Structure 1
Amino acid sequence: MKNKQEIPAVIVADAKVFDYLKEKVGERKTRTEAYSDLLDKSLAGFISPFLRKQDYDLQPCQCHVTISDLATEWHWHRATVRSFLETLEAFGQLKRTRLAKSIVITMPVQSGQSSATFVIQRQPDFAIQLQEVLSDWIVGKTTSADVGNLCGQVVHQAMTGMTGYESRHCPDSHIDTASAHAGKQEEEIRKTALGCIAHAALQRVLWKSRFDDSSPLIEFFRHDLDEEWVSFIEASKELAELILDTEACETTFDTDDDKERLKSLRKPFLSLLARTQEPAD
Protein backbone atom coordinates (compact mmCIF):
# COMPACT_ATOMS: atom_id res chain seq x y z
CA MET A 1 0.00 0.00 0.00
CA LYS A 2 1.37 3.39 -1.01
CA ASN A 3 1.87 5.91 1.78
CA LYS A 4 -0.12 8.95 0.66
CA GLN A 5 1.35 11.02 3.49
CA GLU A 6 4.79 10.79 1.93
CA ILE A 7 5.77 14.24 0.65
CA PRO A 8 9.11 15.82 -0.28
CA ALA A 9 10.95 17.44 2.64
CA VAL A 10 13.73 20.02 2.75
CA ILE A 11 16.54 18.99 5.09
CA VAL A 12 19.15 21.46 6.36
CA ALA A 13 22.46 19.75 7.11
CA ASP A 14 25.77 21.03 8.46
CA ALA A 15 28.95 20.05 6.62
CA LYS A 16 29.80 17.82 9.61
CA VAL A 17 26.85 15.63 8.67
CA PHE A 18 28.50 14.86 5.33
CA ASP A 19 31.71 13.88 7.14
CA TYR A 20 29.72 11.50 9.31
CA LEU A 21 27.81 9.95 6.39
CA LYS A 22 30.85 9.36 4.19
CA GLU A 23 31.69 5.69 3.77
CA LYS A 24 34.98 4.61 2.30
CA VAL A 25 34.51 1.91 -0.33
CA GLY A 26 37.76 1.27 -2.18
CA GLU A 27 39.81 4.06 -3.68
CA ARG A 28 37.11 5.58 -5.89
CA LYS A 29 35.11 8.35 -4.26
CA THR A 30 31.32 8.27 -4.33
CA ARG A 31 29.38 11.32 -5.55
CA THR A 32 28.59 12.22 -1.93
CA GLU A 33 32.29 12.07 -1.06
CA ALA A 34 33.18 14.15 -4.11
CA TYR A 35 30.58 16.79 -3.20
CA SER A 36 31.83 16.81 0.40
CA ASP A 37 35.39 17.19 -0.87
CA LEU A 38 34.38 20.27 -2.88
CA LEU A 39 32.74 21.71 0.24
CA ASP A 40 35.90 21.12 2.27
CA LYS A 41 38.11 22.64 -0.42
CA SER A 42 35.93 25.74 -0.84
CA LEU A 43 35.66 26.40 2.90
CA ALA A 44 39.45 26.03 3.24
CA GLY A 45 40.22 28.20 0.21
CA PHE A 46 42.09 25.29 -1.38
CA ILE A 47 44.50 25.98 -4.27
CA SER A 48 45.97 23.12 -6.28
CA PRO A 49 49.77 22.86 -5.83
CA PHE A 50 50.14 23.22 -9.60
CA LEU A 51 48.36 26.59 -9.49
CA ARG A 52 50.10 28.26 -6.54
CA LYS A 53 52.06 30.62 -8.81
CA GLN A 54 48.98 31.83 -10.68
CA ASP A 55 47.73 35.28 -9.83
CA TYR A 56 44.11 34.78 -8.72
CA ASP A 57 42.56 36.09 -5.50
CA LEU A 58 40.06 33.62 -4.10
CA GLN A 59 36.88 34.93 -2.51
CA PRO A 60 35.17 33.21 0.46
CA CYS A 61 33.82 29.72 -0.32
CA GLN A 62 36.01 29.30 -3.39
CA CYS A 63 38.67 26.80 -4.40
CA HIS A 64 41.04 26.71 -7.38
CA VAL A 65 41.42 23.27 -8.96
CA THR A 66 42.05 21.42 -12.20
CA ILE A 67 39.99 18.64 -13.74
CA SER A 68 43.06 16.39 -13.80
CA ASP A 69 43.70 16.92 -10.07
CA LEU A 70 40.12 16.04 -9.16
CA ALA A 71 40.12 13.03 -11.47
CA THR A 72 43.31 11.72 -9.85
CA GLU A 73 42.14 12.42 -6.30
CA TRP A 74 38.65 10.96 -6.79
CA HIS A 75 39.81 8.09 -9.04
CA TRP A 76 37.36 9.19 -11.72
CA HIS A 77 37.64 9.67 -15.46
CA ARG A 78 38.16 13.31 -16.47
CA ALA A 79 34.91 13.26 -18.47
CA THR A 80 33.05 12.01 -15.38
CA VAL A 81 34.45 14.91 -13.32
CA ARG A 82 33.35 17.42 -15.96
CA SER A 83 29.86 15.92 -16.12
CA PHE A 84 29.61 15.89 -12.30
CA LEU A 85 30.56 19.58 -12.02
CA GLU A 86 28.24 20.51 -14.88
CA THR A 87 25.31 18.73 -13.23
CA LEU A 88 25.95 20.31 -9.82
CA GLU A 89 26.14 23.73 -11.49
CA ALA A 90 22.81 23.09 -13.25
CA PHE A 91 21.32 22.23 -9.84
CA GLY A 92 22.63 25.47 -8.35
CA GLN A 93 25.08 23.70 -6.03
CA LEU A 94 28.20 25.41 -7.36
CA LYS A 95 29.41 27.99 -9.86
CA ARG A 96 32.38 27.48 -12.18
CA THR A 97 34.74 30.22 -13.33
CA ARG A 98 36.73 28.70 -16.20
CA LEU A 99 40.33 29.83 -16.58
CA ALA A 100 42.92 28.72 -19.18
CA LYS A 101 43.77 25.34 -17.64
CA SER A 102 41.91 25.40 -14.35
CA ILE A 103 38.59 26.15 -12.68
CA VAL A 104 37.62 28.33 -9.73
CA ILE A 105 34.67 26.70 -7.97
CA THR A 106 32.33 28.73 -5.79
CA MET A 107 30.12 26.80 -3.37
CA PRO A 108 26.97 28.73 -2.28
CA VAL A 109 27.15 27.64 1.35
CA GLN A 110 25.98 29.53 4.42
CA SER A 111 28.79 31.67 5.75
CA GLY A 112 27.24 34.72 7.34
CA GLN A 113 26.06 36.60 4.24
CA SER A 114 22.83 38.59 4.15
CA SER A 115 19.43 36.92 3.91
CA ALA A 116 19.26 37.83 0.20
CA THR A 117 20.94 34.51 -0.55
CA PHE A 118 18.93 32.59 2.06
CA VAL A 119 17.31 30.20 -0.40
CA ILE A 120 20.59 28.67 -1.54
CA GLN A 121 22.29 28.88 1.86
CA ARG A 122 19.46 27.65 4.04
CA GLN A 123 18.29 24.95 1.63
CA PRO A 124 21.42 23.61 -0.10
CA ASP A 125 19.59 20.48 -1.16
CA PHE A 126 16.65 22.22 -2.87
CA ALA A 127 17.93 21.53 -6.40
CA ILE A 128 19.06 18.02 -5.46
CA GLN A 129 15.59 17.35 -4.07
CA LEU A 130 14.06 18.46 -7.36
CA GLN A 131 16.51 16.21 -9.19
CA GLU A 132 15.33 13.24 -7.15
CA VAL A 133 11.70 14.08 -7.86
CA LEU A 134 12.44 14.34 -11.59
CA SER A 135 14.65 11.24 -11.82
CA ASP A 136 11.78 8.76 -12.30
CA TRP A 137 10.22 11.02 -14.94
CA ILE A 138 13.50 11.10 -16.89
CA VAL A 139 13.42 7.31 -17.26
CA GLY A 140 9.67 7.15 -17.90
CA LYS A 141 8.62 5.68 -14.54
CA THR A 142 6.21 8.49 -13.70
CA THR A 143 3.92 10.82 -15.64
CA SER A 144 4.36 14.52 -16.32
CA ALA A 145 1.25 15.23 -14.25
CA ASP A 146 2.57 13.38 -11.20
CA VAL A 147 6.05 14.87 -11.33
CA GLY A 148 4.59 18.33 -11.96
CA ASN A 149 2.52 18.09 -8.78
CA LEU A 150 5.55 16.94 -6.80
CA CYS A 151 7.70 19.78 -8.15
CA GLY A 152 4.97 22.22 -7.18
CA GLN A 153 4.97 20.84 -3.64
CA VAL A 154 8.76 21.16 -3.33
CA VAL A 155 8.72 24.75 -4.61
CA HIS A 156 5.79 25.69 -2.34
CA GLN A 157 7.58 24.17 0.64
CA ALA A 158 10.76 26.10 -0.15
CA MET A 159 8.86 29.39 -0.43
CA THR A 160 6.92 28.71 2.76
CA GLY A 161 10.14 27.99 4.64
CA MET A 162 11.70 31.18 3.29
CA THR A 163 8.70 33.28 4.37
CA GLY A 164 8.81 31.79 7.85
CA TYR A 165 12.49 32.61 8.15
CA GLU A 166 11.96 36.23 7.09
CA SER A 167 9.10 36.75 9.56
CA ARG A 168 11.18 35.42 12.46
CA HIS A 169 14.41 37.28 11.69
CA CYS A 170 13.33 40.70 10.36
CA PRO A 171 12.18 43.45 12.78
CA ASP A 172 9.04 45.43 11.97
CA SER A 173 11.12 48.43 10.89
CA HIS A 174 12.61 46.37 8.07
CA ILE A 175 9.41 44.83 6.72
CA ASP A 176 9.68 46.58 3.33
CA THR A 177 13.29 45.46 2.90
CA ALA A 178 12.38 41.92 3.93
CA SER A 179 9.53 41.89 1.41
CA ALA A 180 11.90 42.97 -1.35
CA HIS A 181 14.34 40.23 -0.35
CA ALA A 182 11.51 37.71 -0.31
CA GLY A 183 10.51 38.68 -3.84
CA LYS A 184 14.06 38.16 -5.10
CA GLN A 185 14.33 34.85 -3.27
CA GLU A 186 11.05 33.59 -4.72
CA GLU A 187 12.36 34.48 -8.17
CA GLU A 188 15.55 32.52 -7.48
CA ILE A 189 13.50 29.52 -6.37
CA ARG A 190 11.46 29.65 -9.58
CA LYS A 191 14.58 29.99 -11.75
CA THR A 192 16.24 27.05 -10.00
CA ALA A 193 13.13 24.89 -10.34
CA LEU A 194 12.59 25.76 -14.01
CA GLY A 195 16.28 25.16 -14.72
CA CYS A 196 16.14 21.72 -13.11
CA ILE A 197 13.04 20.81 -15.10
CA ALA A 198 14.60 22.04 -18.36
CA HIS A 199 17.74 20.00 -17.68
CA ALA A 200 15.63 16.95 -16.83
CA ALA A 201 13.69 17.36 -20.08
CA LEU A 202 16.92 17.19 -22.07
CA GLN A 203 17.98 14.14 -20.07
CA ARG A 204 14.61 12.50 -20.82
CA VAL A 205 15.09 13.03 -24.56
CA LEU A 206 18.63 11.68 -24.34
CA TRP A 207 17.45 8.67 -22.33
CA LYS A 208 15.27 7.59 -25.23
CA SER A 209 18.27 7.81 -27.57
CA ARG A 210 20.70 5.65 -25.62
CA PHE A 211 19.94 2.46 -27.55
CA ASP A 212 20.04 4.05 -31.01
CA ASP A 213 22.92 3.13 -33.30
CA SER A 214 25.83 5.56 -32.91
CA SER A 215 28.09 3.78 -35.40
CA PRO A 216 27.23 6.07 -38.37
CA LEU A 217 28.74 9.00 -36.47
CA ILE A 218 31.87 7.02 -35.71
CA GLU A 219 32.18 6.01 -39.37
CA PHE A 220 31.64 9.64 -40.37
CA PHE A 221 34.55 10.63 -38.13
CA ARG A 222 36.81 7.89 -39.46
CA HIS A 223 36.10 8.01 -43.18
CA ASP A 224 34.54 11.38 -44.06
CA LEU A 225 36.70 13.44 -41.68
CA ASP A 226 39.80 11.23 -41.80
CA GLU A 227 39.86 11.23 -37.97
CA GLU A 228 40.54 14.97 -37.80
CA TRP A 229 39.48 16.10 -34.33
CA VAL A 230 39.14 19.78 -35.22
CA SER A 231 36.78 18.88 -38.06
CA PHE A 232 34.76 16.65 -35.75
CA ILE A 233 34.47 19.43 -33.18
CA GLU A 234 33.13 21.79 -35.84
CA ALA A 235 30.74 19.11 -37.13
CA SER A 236 29.55 18.43 -33.56
CA LYS A 237 28.85 22.12 -33.06
CA GLU A 238 26.80 22.21 -36.24
CA LEU A 239 24.95 19.05 -35.20
CA ALA A 240 24.13 20.56 -31.82
CA GLU A 241 22.84 23.72 -33.52
CA LEU A 242 20.84 21.62 -35.96
CA ILE A 243 19.19 19.79 -33.04
CA LEU A 244 18.66 22.71 -30.68
CA ASP A 245 18.18 25.70 -33.00
CA THR A 246 17.28 24.78 -36.57
CA GLU A 247 16.74 28.39 -37.70
CA ALA A 248 20.12 29.62 -36.45
CA CYS A 249 22.07 27.05 -38.45
CA GLU A 250 20.26 27.42 -41.79
CA THR A 251 23.13 29.47 -43.28
CA THR A 252 26.04 27.41 -41.91
CA PHE A 253 25.93 24.69 -44.57
CA ASP A 254 27.72 25.03 -47.90
CA THR A 255 25.31 22.77 -49.79
CA ASP A 256 22.02 20.98 -49.30
CA ASP A 257 23.95 17.70 -49.39
CA ASP A 258 26.01 18.84 -46.39
CA LYS A 259 22.85 19.65 -44.49
CA GLU A 260 21.17 16.36 -45.37
CA ARG A 261 24.31 14.47 -44.38
CA LEU A 262 24.33 16.08 -40.95
CA LYS A 263 20.59 15.53 -40.56
CA SER A 264 21.18 11.81 -41.01
CA LEU A 265 23.66 11.93 -38.12
CA ARG A 266 21.32 13.51 -35.57
CA LYS A 267 20.19 10.24 -34.00
CA PRO A 268 23.69 8.72 -33.85
CA PHE A 269 24.91 11.99 -32.29
CA LEU A 270 22.21 11.87 -29.60
CA SER A 271 22.90 8.19 -29.00
CA LEU A 272 26.59 8.85 -28.40
CA LEU A 273 25.77 11.79 -26.15
CA ALA A 274 23.21 9.76 -24.17
CA ARG A 275 25.77 7.08 -23.40
CA THR A 276 28.22 9.63 -21.99
CA GLN A 277 25.50 10.91 -19.65
CA GLU A 278 24.83 7.52 -18.06
CA PRO A 279 26.06 7.25 -14.43
CA ALA A 280 29.58 5.92 -14.15
CA ASP A 281 28.86 4.19 -10.80
Structure 2
Amino acid sequence: MENSQENTTFILADVKVFDFLKEKAGDRKTKTEAYWDLLDRSMAGFVSPFVRKVERKLLPNQCHVTISDLAEFWHWHRATVRTFLDALESFGLLERTKLNKSVIITMTVQSGKNAIAGTEQEEPDFATRIGSILSEWVIGKKTSEDAGHSCGQALCQALAAIAGKDNSQASGNGTDTVSAEVVRQEEKLRETILECIANAALQRVLRKSRFDNSSQLSQFFTLDLGGEWGAFIETAKELAELVFNPETSGAGVDMDRNKELLKSFRIPFLSLAAKAQTLSD
Protein backbone atom coordinates (compact mmCIF):
# COMPACT_ATOMS: atom_id res chain seq x y z
CA MET A 1 0.00 0.00 0.00
CA GLU A 2 2.90 2.36 0.70
CA ASN A 3 3.99 2.24 -2.94
CA SER A 4 0.49 2.51 -4.40
CA GLN A 5 1.14 6.06 -5.65
CA GLU A 6 4.25 5.12 -7.62
CA ASN A 7 2.60 3.07 -10.35
CA THR A 8 -0.04 4.21 -12.82
CA THR A 9 -2.97 1.79 -12.97
CA PHE A 10 -5.91 2.12 -15.35
CA ILE A 11 -9.27 0.82 -14.10
CA LEU A 12 -12.08 0.16 -16.55
CA ALA A 13 -15.57 0.35 -15.09
CA ASP A 14 -19.00 0.55 -16.66
CA VAL A 15 -21.08 3.68 -15.99
CA LYS A 16 -23.47 1.43 -14.06
CA VAL A 17 -20.77 0.98 -11.42
CA PHE A 18 -20.89 4.68 -10.59
CA ASP A 19 -24.67 4.56 -10.49
CA PHE A 20 -24.32 1.75 -7.95
CA LEU A 21 -21.84 3.78 -5.85
CA LYS A 22 -24.11 6.81 -5.62
CA GLU A 23 -25.40 7.63 -2.15
CA LYS A 24 -29.10 8.28 -2.01
CA ALA A 25 -29.24 10.29 1.22
CA GLY A 26 -29.43 14.11 1.17
CA ASP A 27 -29.39 16.67 -1.63
CA ARG A 28 -25.66 17.47 -1.57
CA LYS A 29 -23.79 15.30 -4.05
CA THR A 30 -20.68 13.36 -3.05
CA LYS A 31 -17.58 13.52 -5.23
CA THR A 32 -18.45 10.11 -6.65
CA GLU A 33 -21.96 11.29 -7.50
CA ALA A 34 -20.61 14.49 -9.06
CA TYR A 35 -18.23 12.48 -11.24
CA TRP A 36 -21.04 10.13 -12.25
CA ASP A 37 -23.19 13.16 -13.11
CA LEU A 38 -20.47 14.48 -15.42
CA LEU A 39 -20.26 11.07 -17.10
CA ASP A 40 -24.03 10.98 -17.48
CA ARG A 41 -24.17 14.48 -18.95
CA SER A 42 -21.32 13.83 -21.38
CA MET A 43 -22.83 10.54 -22.58
CA ALA A 44 -26.11 12.34 -23.26
CA GLY A 45 -24.44 15.37 -24.91
CA PHE A 46 -26.08 17.60 -22.30
CA VAL A 47 -26.26 21.35 -23.01
CA SER A 48 -27.17 23.71 -20.18
CA PRO A 49 -30.36 25.77 -20.78
CA PHE A 50 -28.28 28.88 -20.10
CA VAL A 51 -26.02 28.29 -23.13
CA ARG A 52 -28.39 26.75 -25.67
CA LYS A 53 -28.36 29.92 -27.74
CA VAL A 54 -24.62 29.43 -28.32
CA GLU A 55 -23.99 27.56 -31.57
CA ARG A 56 -21.55 24.85 -30.45
CA LYS A 57 -21.57 21.37 -31.95
CA LEU A 58 -20.54 18.86 -29.30
CA LEU A 59 -18.32 15.88 -29.98
CA PRO A 60 -18.89 12.46 -28.38
CA ASN A 61 -18.44 12.39 -24.57
CA GLN A 62 -18.89 16.15 -24.24
CA CYS A 63 -21.30 18.35 -22.32
CA HIS A 64 -21.67 22.13 -22.31
CA VAL A 65 -22.36 23.53 -18.84
CA THR A 66 -21.79 26.47 -16.52
CA ILE A 67 -20.11 26.38 -13.12
CA SER A 68 -23.26 27.84 -11.56
CA ASP A 69 -25.34 25.11 -13.21
CA LEU A 70 -23.22 22.36 -11.65
CA ALA A 71 -23.03 24.13 -8.30
CA GLU A 72 -26.80 24.37 -8.09
CA PHE A 73 -27.40 20.74 -9.06
CA TRP A 74 -24.67 19.35 -6.81
CA HIS A 75 -25.48 21.76 -3.93
CA TRP A 76 -21.86 22.90 -3.83
CA HIS A 77 -20.17 26.29 -3.80
CA ARG A 78 -18.90 27.43 -7.21
CA ALA A 79 -15.33 27.53 -5.89
CA THR A 80 -15.68 23.89 -4.79
CA VAL A 81 -16.88 22.92 -8.27
CA ARG A 82 -13.86 24.61 -9.88
CA THR A 83 -11.46 22.88 -7.49
CA PHE A 84 -13.13 19.52 -8.16
CA LEU A 85 -12.86 19.98 -11.94
CA ASP A 86 -9.22 21.02 -11.55
CA ALA A 87 -8.52 17.79 -9.65
CA LEU A 88 -10.30 15.58 -12.20
CA GLU A 89 -8.39 17.25 -15.01
CA SER A 90 -5.07 16.72 -13.22
CA PHE A 91 -5.94 13.01 -13.02
CA GLY A 92 -6.60 12.96 -16.75
CA LEU A 93 -10.30 12.15 -16.25
CA LEU A 94 -11.60 15.12 -18.22
CA GLU A 95 -10.57 18.05 -20.39
CA ARG A 96 -12.07 21.53 -20.36
CA THR A 97 -12.58 24.06 -23.12
CA LYS A 98 -13.26 27.32 -21.32
CA LEU A 99 -15.64 29.74 -22.99
CA ASN A 100 -17.11 33.06 -21.92
CA LYS A 101 -19.32 32.20 -18.89
CA SER A 102 -19.42 28.47 -19.71
CA VAL A 103 -17.24 25.41 -20.24
CA ILE A 104 -17.28 22.39 -22.55
CA ILE A 105 -16.24 19.27 -20.63
CA THR A 106 -14.84 16.25 -22.46
CA MET A 107 -14.83 13.12 -20.31
CA THR A 108 -11.92 10.74 -20.81
CA VAL A 109 -13.63 7.41 -21.34
CA GLN A 110 -12.58 4.14 -22.94
CA SER A 111 -14.57 1.39 -24.55
CA GLY A 112 -12.57 -1.37 -22.84
CA LYS A 113 -11.07 -2.31 -26.21
CA ASN A 114 -8.53 0.47 -26.42
CA ALA A 115 -6.45 2.80 -24.31
CA ILE A 116 -5.24 6.23 -25.24
CA ALA A 117 -3.26 5.51 -28.37
CA GLY A 118 -0.29 7.58 -29.41
CA THR A 119 -1.47 8.21 -32.93
CA GLU A 120 -1.17 11.25 -35.16
CA GLN A 121 -4.94 11.68 -35.05
CA GLU A 122 -5.08 11.94 -31.25
CA GLU A 123 -2.12 14.30 -30.77
CA PRO A 124 -4.34 17.43 -30.99
CA ASP A 125 -6.23 16.10 -27.93
CA PHE A 126 -2.97 15.91 -25.99
CA ALA A 127 -2.06 19.42 -27.11
CA THR A 128 -5.49 20.65 -26.00
CA ARG A 129 -4.96 19.09 -22.57
CA ILE A 130 -1.53 20.71 -22.20
CA GLY A 131 -2.97 24.02 -23.40
CA SER A 132 -5.68 23.81 -20.76
CA ILE A 133 -3.08 23.17 -18.05
CA LEU A 134 -0.97 26.11 -19.17
CA SER A 135 -3.98 28.42 -19.48
CA GLU A 136 -4.14 28.43 -15.68
CA TRP A 137 -0.49 29.51 -15.60
CA VAL A 138 -1.09 32.24 -18.19
CA ILE A 139 -3.67 33.95 -15.99
CA GLY A 140 -1.63 33.45 -12.81
CA LYS A 141 -3.70 30.71 -11.18
CA LYS A 142 -0.81 28.24 -11.31
CA THR A 143 2.87 28.71 -10.52
CA SER A 144 5.50 27.66 -13.04
CA GLU A 145 6.35 24.73 -10.78
CA ASP A 146 2.74 23.56 -10.53
CA ALA A 147 2.17 23.91 -14.28
CA GLY A 148 5.39 22.03 -14.98
CA HIS A 149 4.35 19.24 -12.63
CA SER A 150 0.96 18.95 -14.37
CA CYS A 151 2.62 18.84 -17.80
CA GLY A 152 4.98 16.12 -16.62
CA GLN A 153 2.07 14.18 -15.15
CA ALA A 154 0.12 14.41 -18.41
CA LEU A 155 3.17 13.17 -20.32
CA CYS A 156 3.63 10.22 -17.96
CA GLN A 157 -0.02 9.23 -18.31
CA ALA A 158 0.14 9.42 -22.12
CA LEU A 159 3.39 7.43 -22.22
CA ALA A 160 2.00 4.80 -19.86
CA ALA A 161 -0.97 4.27 -22.16
CA ILE A 162 1.24 4.12 -25.25
CA ALA A 163 3.68 1.71 -23.60
CA GLY A 164 0.84 -0.48 -22.36
CA LYS A 165 -0.57 -0.85 -25.85
CA ASP A 166 2.89 -1.44 -27.29
CA ASN A 167 3.69 -4.11 -24.66
CA SER A 168 0.43 -5.86 -25.48
CA GLN A 169 1.34 -5.96 -29.14
CA ALA A 170 4.90 -7.02 -28.36
CA SER A 171 3.68 -9.91 -26.20
CA GLY A 172 1.59 -11.14 -29.09
CA ASN A 173 4.69 -11.09 -31.27
CA GLY A 174 6.83 -12.87 -28.66
CA THR A 175 9.04 -9.81 -27.97
CA ASP A 176 9.40 -7.55 -24.93
CA THR A 177 11.44 -4.63 -26.23
CA VAL A 178 10.28 -1.04 -26.49
CA SER A 179 9.46 -0.38 -30.12
CA ALA A 180 10.83 2.47 -32.18
CA GLU A 181 7.25 3.74 -32.47
CA VAL A 182 7.03 4.29 -28.68
CA VAL A 183 10.30 6.24 -28.75
CA ARG A 184 9.03 8.32 -31.67
CA GLN A 185 5.75 9.07 -29.92
CA GLU A 186 7.57 10.10 -26.74
CA GLU A 187 9.68 12.56 -28.73
CA LYS A 188 6.58 14.00 -30.42
CA LEU A 189 4.72 14.40 -27.12
CA ARG A 190 7.67 16.21 -25.57
CA GLU A 191 7.89 18.47 -28.61
CA THR A 192 4.15 19.19 -28.29
CA ILE A 193 4.62 20.27 -24.66
CA LEU A 194 7.54 22.54 -25.60
CA GLU A 195 5.46 24.13 -28.36
CA CYS A 196 2.53 24.72 -25.99
CA ILE A 197 4.80 26.23 -23.33
CA ALA A 198 6.35 28.62 -25.86
CA ASN A 199 2.87 29.72 -26.97
CA ALA A 200 1.67 30.10 -23.37
CA ALA A 201 4.73 32.19 -22.50
CA LEU A 202 3.87 34.61 -25.29
CA GLN A 203 0.28 34.80 -24.05
CA ARG A 204 1.40 35.46 -20.47
CA VAL A 205 3.71 38.30 -21.46
CA LEU A 206 1.08 39.73 -23.83
CA ARG A 207 -1.50 39.62 -21.03
CA LYS A 208 0.43 42.34 -19.17
CA SER A 209 -0.53 44.84 -21.87
CA ARG A 210 -4.29 44.48 -21.50
CA PHE A 211 -4.65 47.62 -19.37
CA ASP A 212 -2.57 49.86 -21.67
CA ASN A 213 -4.27 52.55 -23.74
CA SER A 214 -5.04 51.53 -27.33
CA SER A 215 -6.89 54.71 -28.37
CA GLN A 216 -3.94 56.06 -30.39
CA LEU A 217 -4.15 53.15 -32.81
CA SER A 218 -7.94 53.39 -32.96
CA GLN A 219 -7.68 57.05 -33.94
CA PHE A 220 -5.07 56.21 -36.58
CA PHE A 221 -7.46 53.65 -38.09
CA THR A 222 -10.30 56.18 -38.24
CA LEU A 223 -8.50 59.39 -39.18
CA ASP A 224 -5.42 58.30 -41.14
CA LEU A 225 -6.62 55.08 -42.73
CA GLY A 226 -10.18 56.28 -43.27
CA GLY A 227 -11.63 53.17 -41.65
CA GLU A 228 -10.18 50.89 -44.32
CA TRP A 229 -9.91 47.39 -42.82
CA GLY A 230 -7.52 46.11 -45.45
CA ALA A 231 -5.11 48.97 -44.79
CA PHE A 232 -5.28 48.31 -41.06
CA ILE A 233 -4.57 44.61 -41.59
CA GLU A 234 -1.40 45.54 -43.49
CA THR A 235 -0.44 47.95 -40.71
CA ALA A 236 -1.07 45.27 -38.09
CA LYS A 237 1.17 42.86 -40.00
CA GLU A 238 3.98 45.44 -40.02
CA LEU A 239 3.47 46.05 -36.29
CA ALA A 240 3.61 42.33 -35.54
CA GLU A 241 6.88 42.06 -37.47
CA LEU A 242 8.23 45.03 -35.54
CA VAL A 243 7.29 43.43 -32.20
CA PHE A 244 8.96 40.11 -32.94
CA ASN A 245 11.89 41.55 -34.88
CA PRO A 246 12.73 45.14 -33.84
CA GLU A 247 15.56 45.21 -36.41
CA THR A 248 13.23 44.50 -39.32
CA SER A 249 14.00 46.41 -42.47
CA GLY A 250 10.37 47.43 -42.68
CA ALA A 251 9.59 46.06 -46.13
CA GLY A 252 6.65 47.88 -47.61
CA VAL A 253 6.93 50.98 -45.41
CA ASP A 254 8.99 54.12 -45.59
CA MET A 255 12.10 53.54 -43.46
CA ASP A 256 12.21 56.93 -41.79
CA ARG A 257 8.91 58.59 -40.97
CA ASN A 258 6.56 55.59 -41.27
CA LYS A 259 8.72 53.21 -39.26
CA GLU A 260 8.98 55.69 -36.41
CA LEU A 261 5.22 56.09 -36.55
CA LEU A 262 4.80 52.31 -36.34
CA LYS A 263 7.11 52.18 -33.34
CA SER A 264 4.86 54.66 -31.55
CA PHE A 265 1.96 52.23 -32.10
CA ARG A 266 3.74 49.29 -30.45
CA ILE A 267 2.11 49.66 -27.01
CA PRO A 268 -1.43 50.33 -28.37
CA PHE A 269 -1.03 47.36 -30.73
CA LEU A 270 -0.06 45.01 -27.89
CA SER A 271 -2.94 46.39 -25.82
CA LEU A 272 -5.44 45.50 -28.57
CA ALA A 273 -3.98 42.00 -28.90
CA ALA A 274 -4.04 41.47 -25.13
CA LYS A 275 -7.67 42.58 -24.87
CA ALA A 276 -8.63 40.17 -27.67
CA GLN A 277 -6.84 37.38 -25.81
CA THR A 278 -8.75 38.21 -22.62
CA LEU A 279 -12.07 37.92 -24.50
CA SER A 280 -11.17 34.35 -25.52
CA ASP A 281 -10.06 33.27 -22.00
Same fold judged by TM-score > 0.5? yes
Calculate the TM-score normalised by the size of structure 2. Answer: 0.58
Is 1:147 equivalent to 2:147 in the alignment?
Answer: yes
Shift of 1:23: 2.7
* Map 1:28-67 → 2, pairs under 5 A: 28=52, 34=56, 37=57, 39=59
Contact 1:241 1:249 in 2 (8 A): no
Is 1:277 equivalent to 2:267 in the alignment?
Answer: no
Shift of 1:254: 1.3
CA distance in 2, matches of 1:256, 1:190: 44
Contact 1:116 1:184 in 2 (8 A): no
Cα deviation code 1:21-43 (max 9, x no counterpart)? 5233245466xx83xx2636xxx
Shift of 1:260: 1.4
Shift of 1:143: 2.8
Higher alpha-carbon deviation: 149-158 or 21-30: 21-30
Indicate the residue corresponding to 2:227 in structure 1.
Answer: 227
- Cα gap change, 1:176 to 1:188, in 2 (>3 Å): farther
Indicate the residue corresponding to 1:256 in structure 2.
Answer: 256
- Cα gap change, 1:24 to 1:142, in 2 (>3 Å): closer
Query: Which letter maps to 2:211?
Result: F
CA distance in 2, matches of 1:258, 1:10: 61
Secondary structure at the counterpart of residue 59 of structure 2: helix
CA distance in 2, matches of 1:174, 1:145: 42
Contact 2:117 2:162 in 1 (8 A): no
Shift of 1:220: 0.9
Percentage of pairs with the same residue: 44
CA distance in 1, matches of 2:40, 2:120: 20
Query: Which letter maps to 2:155?
Result: V
CA distance in 1, matches of 2:279, 2:260: 33
Indicate the residue corresponding to 2:46 in structure 1.
Answer: 22
Cα deviation code 1:180-214 (max 9, x no counterpart)? 21122112212221222122112212211111111
Structure 1: runs of 5+ lacking an equivalent:
41-83, 85-92, 94-109
Shift of 1:17: 6.6
Contact 1:239 1:266 in 2 (8 A): yes
Calculate the TM-score normalised by the size of structure 1. Answer: 0.58
Secondary structure at the counterpart of residue 165 of structure 1: helix
CA distance in 1, matches of 2:135, 2:196: 11
Shift of 1:261: 1.0
Indicate the residue corresponding to 1:204 in structure 2.
Answer: 204
Structure 2: runs of 5+ lacking an equivalent:
16-38, 61-98, 100-105
Which has the larger Rg? 2
Secondary structure at the counterpart of residue 39 of structure 1: coil
* Map 1:1-281 → 2, pairs under 5 A: 18-20=42-44, 22-26=46-50, 28=52, 34=56, 37=57, 39=59, 117-118=118-119, 121=122, 125-171=125-171, 173=173, 179-279=179-279
Higher relative contact order, structure no. (Cα contacts within 8 Å, ≥ 6 residues apart): 1
Contact 2:212 2:271 in 1 (8 A): yes
Please provide the CA RMSD for this pair.
4.2
- Cα gap change, 1:252 to 1:10, in 2 (>3 Å): farther
- Cα gap change, 1:125 to 1:26, in 2 (>3 Å): same
CA distance in 1, matches of 2:251, 2:176: 51
CA distance in 2, matches of 1:202, 1:151: 18
- Cα gap change, 1:19 to 1:160, in 2 (>3 Å): closer
- Cα gap change, 1:211 to 1:134, in 2 (>3 Å): same
Cα deviation code 1:208-234 (max 9, x no counterpart)? 111111111101111121222221111
**How many equivalent residue pairs?**
202
Contact 2:239 2:266 in 1 (8 A): yes
Query: Which letter maps to 1:131?
Result: G
